[in-house]
Amino acid sequence: MMGTFISISTAQENKIHIQKGFAIISDVEMSLSSYKKKALVSKLNHEKKTNLDENLFEALQLSQKYYQETNGYFNIAIGSITKGLYRFGEQERIPHAKELKEANVDLKGLHFNKSEAFLDQNTTIDLGGMGKGFGVDKVAHYFKSKNIVQAVIAASGDIRCLGECHTNIQNPHAENFLASFDTLKDETGISTSGNYNRYVKSVKNNHLINPKSKKSEQNFSSITLISDISSSDLDAYTTAVSVMPKEQAYSFLASKPLAYIILQSDAKLVVSKNSKQFIKNLKIY
């Protein structure tokens, strides 16, 4: 689901709610997916208009917020490149430099109200940079409404822990782990993004596209953010930071209530000084 494997775990007595959790993820996918032809975003990209449901309206509002917060480094109009040119996840290709230069990434091409959305003719959107975190949040909200206090909802690199949990971070350059830790708070979100898990032919053509330069970024191999803020926020911030210049990335992260574990492309591993506010038993492999 959502282009990845989804797992939901909780205590045996809460088993009845797991299937509802997957149904929630499926509903989010049918709102936000640009792959599934019947999904609202897919329809919007192809027909340039669609009716909105609550999920997509909320996600579009959040996307505008993230655009402002990150100074445009989170930009769902990057779909003209990720979907229109590279076609990640479909008939993948490497676009020509002229195609990239001419690609429209102006978010002003998106227009919406609570019930409808419209796109300018040369605008394509891609909510993949926050969609998994958004879906995980929705399941966590449902579980909390059922007074479930121990659960783990995981959508690839986006994880939500209700209660404490143990997490491993994949090493982008090997089959083992980069790091592992236990969460500290009653609810914690973890979001990991890297340039190693989706690319065309080589990592230099990865899916993390800087919307300002229109090129795949190479500064970071792996970024993990940890916090009790929403998983949607963490997912979007991870996406944005992945394509920022290094100095700007670390400055942005310092302004947010979160911890991070970052493997730079020069192989330097950076752990934020405030990590003990969010995690314990950190092990670097």
Q: Which of the residue ranges 2-6, 114-118, 201-205 would you say has the lowest mean pLDDT?
A: 201-205
Asked whether the CA dihedral 33, 106, 113, 119 is positive or negative, the reply is negative
pLDDT over 80 (residue 87): no
CATH of residue 187's domain is: 3.10.520.10
Alpha-carbon distance of 157 to 196, in angstroms, equals 12
Question: Does the residue 81 lie in any domain?
Answer: no
Which domain covers residue 266, as residue numbers?
Answer: 131-284
Q: Give residue-wise pLDDT tens across range 2-24.
A: 888 999 999 999 999 999 999 99
Question: Does the residue 179 lie in any domain?
Answer: yes
Helix axes 131-145, 54-69, angle to 10 degrees: 120
Q: Give residue-wise pLDDT tens across range 236-264.
A: 999 999 999 999 999 999 999 999 999 99
Question: Does the residue 269 lie in any domain?
Answer: yes
pLDDT over 60 (residue 201): no
**pLDDT for 24:** 98
**pLDDT for 89:** 65
Alpha-carbon distance of 22 to 10, in angstroms, equals 13
**pLDDT for 273:** 97
Question: Does the residue 202 lie in any domain?
Answer: yes
Strands 209-210 and 177-183: unpaired
**pLDDT for 103:** 86
Strands 199-200 and 259-264: unpaired
Question: Does the residue 229 lie in any domain?
Answer: yes
Question: Does the residue 24 lie in any domain?
Answer: no
**pLDDT for 218:** 77
**pLDDT for 96:** 74
The pLDDT confidence band at residue 281, using thresholds 50, 70 and 90, is: very high
Q: Give residue-wise pLDDT tens across range 40-63.
A: 999 999 999 999 999 999 999 999
Question: Does the residue 225 lie in any domain?
Answer: yes
For the chain, how many structural domains are there in total? 1
* Residue indicated by tokens 């309206």: 57
Q: Which two tokens stand for residue 85?
A: 């040119």
CB atoms within 10 A of CB 271: 17
